[in-house]
Structure 1
Amino acid sequence: MSSGRKSQGSQKIEMKKMSNESNLQVTFSRRRSRLFKKASELSTLCDAQIALVVFSPSEKVFSFGHPNIDTVIDHYLSRVPPQNNDIMEFIEACRKANVCEINTQLT
């Protein structure tokens, strides 16, 4: 029943920069559209805010954002990083201990 031909299965392809500029542009365009489609699916399925900025090999800028890229970037840039009081107290205690140690060495 077998034809004697065996499939090689999925092979690992070595990642390296393409030398042909035309193929590079075509591949970039295809992969960019797939990436944007996946980002759109993720934002829809998970109700996530997403911003993607991609630069092509010819240095053109492409962006995708949900709800829109400006809203997501503004939200990210305006957020205040959380303060962990335990860590801040530990750092302050270490600093004070170092200052006391230096003072005792100097006197």
Structure 2
Amino acid sequence: MPTVYITAPREAADDLAADLVESEVAACVNRVDCSSTFRWEGDVVTEAEAVLLAKTTDDGYEALKARVEDQHPYDVPCIERFDEDDVLDAFGEWVAESVR
């Protein structure tokens, strides 16, 4: 079961999280506000962002990734996949039932 790490502008994060759950590519999405510093077009910038942690399935990952790429306001969104080796069985079952 993968968790997908996504960063987004704070003003877009709630809508993006809701879209991922409503479209059934994620069972749930946790949101944590953060400040990110990165290089973009030759400049170092700091932006207020949100970290989204989206829970999905192996089969649902590609659809989730495509949905984020389609809905995200950035030209190059951060989308990183982390695979869990061990999750509570009941949680894993709930994720599997929630992702289409």
Same fold flag (TM > 0.5) = no
Which has the greater radius of gyration? 1
Q: Greater share of helix residues, 1 or 2?
A: 1
User: Into which bin does the TM-score normalised by the smaller protein fall?
Assistant: under 0.3
Q: Greater share of strand residues, 1 or 2?
A: 2
Q: TM-score, normalised by structure 2?
A: 0.24
- Greater RCO structure (CA 8 Å; 6+ sep): 2
Q: TM-score, normalised by structure 1?
A: 0.22
